[in-house]
Amino acid sequence: MEVKDLTPQVVWRNFYSLTQIPRPSGHTAQVAQFLVDFAHAHGAEAYIDEAGNVVMKKGATASMENRATTVLQAHMDMVPQKTKGSQHNFETDPLDVYIDGEWVRARNTTLGADDGMGVAAAMAVIEDDTVAHGPIEVLITRDEETGMDGAFALKPDELEGKYLLNLDSETEGEITIGCAGGMNVNCEMQYQELEVEAEGMVSYLVAVKALHGGHSGIEIHKGYPNANKLMARFLFAAINTDLAWLSSLHGGNMRNAIPRDAEAVVLVPKKSEEEFLALVAKCKAVFTEEFKDVEGKEITFVAEPCEMPTKAVPQDIQENLVNALMACHDGVLRYIPTIPDLVETSCNLSIVSIADGKAEVRLLARSSQDSMKNYLCNGLVACFSMAGMKVELEGGYSGWQPNPSSKLVAIMADVYEKMFGNKPIVNACHAGLECGIIGVNYPEMDMASFGPTLVSPHTPSEACLIPTVERFYNFILEILKNIPNK
């Protein structure tokens, strides 16, 4: 059986079509046009708004014209993560998806079920004329994964819906009614490179490879190692014992993905080569021991001889930068005091690039409390400013505050219990969802988020649990039948 033949076929067929269209964040024009064409082919109104979002509209079915309008909302972009050595080009190549027991996966890449599964479900509602519903609006936003650009630019008069179903959660049986806010922290500096004097020196490429990684919101509490932090720890030890001189450093590639890989080119005095390699072996052993319970395997931390670079980072600059990478917060900062199982504030040291006379560091700070988000960001500004970097904060957004009296959530909880015989879990999450941003322009809109079960989103291990997709889609259909009158 192929992925597109799974049940419910109307969802899986659409999901498979999405996997064949390249749609990494920042490259969504092709999939946006595909979605508009799809809607038109099934008799629905559709267009791309000024922000690059796709809006579809479908009239009510017979006898349901007086129901309030419902918005089905998802995002069209996906996180482009792949295994080390994979030749996949996310801007041109389709995904290679396959069935693995009860799971659907993609070979050597992210699956894009975050949020392709939400998009596919919305497409299925547009396509299937047997579904009973009131007026429907579908909002498929662009570039959610890199800054929620589409949601931020959504105009306040674009939608008419009273209720919004966000289809971007990752545990079936849970209804999310709140999420953390976030802030991008961008650090940059220019420096004058030094000419390398190769006499008496050897060069090595040091690399940490194929860590678990993960979603920097919903998986930050799991304690997965951050490749940038591990590399910083090694470099701090090597530089401060005169065992290495930094030429370049690169790690991570997405703000909201815990970095899986990092590599540095360093110069090593020939007389200290044996000691340097011993430090590499020691770090590998220490890191493996520290993270054995969450990684479940030996950490790959290696040093291999490489071509001698012609440039290096000045001593004071390398010390300042490595000190800052060591000192900056990464991971969970605080749990919500009244909900000790839920992360309140965290940081992901997402991207590090030091080469060719320019240093760049990108971090994503998250918190469900604005004051703690500001505290964290101010600490990061102080840390990297002391290293001589220019630090800017951008793309900030407040969290989505739970509405305990939500009429929509009450309907959903009642419907779920009647369908499946047990009550759903109603909670908040530490990931960033677009509901809070959309709610700024639509303060009266009643919202909730849910989805099928996904594991390891934002990593090449991402997978979707097949049986939960049918439950997820049937739940959508039953909610639509129970939307109140206007």
Question: CA 464 to CA 411: how far, in whole Å?
Answer: 26
- Which pLDDT score is estimated for 339? 87
Q: Report CA dihedral (172, 154, 258, 181) to the nearest 10 degrees.
A: -80
Residue 381 vs residues 203, 255, 279: alpha-carbon distances, Å? 33, 17, 31
Using CA atoms in the order 55, 61, 67, 70, what is the torsion angle rounded to 10 degrees?
Answer: -20
Angstrom distance (rounded) from CA 122 to CA 109: 24
* pLDDT tens, per residue, the chain with 486 residues: 999 999 999 999 999 999 999 999 999 999 999 999 999 999 999 999 999 999 999 999 999 999 999 999 999 999 999 998 899 999 999 999 999 999 999 999 999 999 999 999 999 999 999 999 999 999 999 999 988 999 999 999 999 999 999 999 999 999 999 999 999 999 999 999 999 988 999 999 999 999 999 999 999 999 999 999 999 999 999 999 999 999 999 999 999 999 999 999 999 999 999 999 999 999 999 999 999 999 999 999 999 999 999 999 999 999 999 999 999 999 999 999 988 899 999 999 999 999 999 999 999 999 999 999 999 999 999 999 999 999 999 989 888 989 889 999 999 999 999 999 999 999 999 988 999 999 999 999 999 999 999 999 999 999 999 999 999 999 999 999 999 999
194: part of which helix (H) or strand (E)?
strand 194-195
Distances (CA, A) of 259 to 132, 155, 226, 397: 44, 34, 5, 23
DSSP character at residue 378: H
Distance CA(191)–CA(319), nearest Å, equals 13
The residue among 122, 46, 156 whose CA lies nearest residue 445 is 156
| Dist. CA 192–CA 210, nearest whole Å | 32
**Closest to 344 (Cα-Cα) out of 399, 406, 385:** 399
How many other C-beta atoms are found inside a 10 Å radius of the C-beta of residue 65? Answer: 12
Active site residues: 77, 144
Structural contact between residues 347 and 363, judged by C-beta atoms closer than 8 angstroms: yes
Nearest C-alpha neighbor of 483 from the set 15, 125, 35, 36: 125
- Residues 444, 57: Cα–Cα separation, whole Å: 20
User: Angle at which helices 113-127 and 466-481 pack, to 10 degrees?
Assistant: 50
Nearest CA to 177 out of 346, 441, 405 is that of 405
For residue 404, the model assigns a pLDDT of 83
Sign of CA dihedral 18, 19, 25, 29: negative
Instruction: Give the separation between CA 255 and CA 184, rounded to whole angstroms.
Output: 8
What pLDDT shows up at residue 276? 98
> Measured between alpha carbons, how far is 459 from 453 in angstroms, rounded to an integer?
15
Q: 281 — phi, psi (to 5°)?
A: -65, -40
Residues forming beta bridges with residue 343, ordered by sequence position: 335
Type of residue found at 196:
V
Tokens read off for 467 = 């049986």
Length in residues, the chain: 486
Give all strands (DSSP E) within 254-330, no chain letters.
257-258, 262-269, 300-305, 311-312
In the chain the first and final C-alpha atoms are separated, in Å, by 44
Distance between CA atoms of residues 352 and 301, nearest Å: 18
Any idea what the Cα angle at residue 413 is, between residues 118 and 436, rounded to 5°? 55
- How confident is the model at residue 348, as a pLDDT? 98
- Tokens at 42, concatenated: 């099934």
Domain extents for the chain? 3-179+400-481, 183-397
Pair 370, 181: CB distance under 8 Å: yes
Amino acid letter, residue 146: T
Place of tokens 């299937």: 128
pLDDT of residue 437: 93
Contact present, 454 and 218 (Cβ < 8 Å): no
Round to whole Å and give the CA distance between 64 and 250. Answer: 56
Cα 322–325–328 angle (5° rounding)? Answer: 145
- Phi, psi (5° rounding) for residue 146? -110, 5
CA distances to 92, 196, 236, 277, 312 from 203, rounded to whole Å, are 35, 11, 17, 12, 11
List the CATH code of the domain at 3-179+400-481: 3.40.630.10
Give me the pLDDT at residue 279, please. Answer: 98
Cis ω for the linkage preceding 115 (within 30 of 0): yes
- The two tokens of residue 272 are 């200290």
> What is the CA 214 to chain-centroid distance, rounded?
8
pLDDT at 198: 87
Q: How many CB atoms lie within 10 A of CB 61?
A: 18
Q: Report which residue type is found at 395.
A: G
CATH top-level class for 183-397?
alpha beta
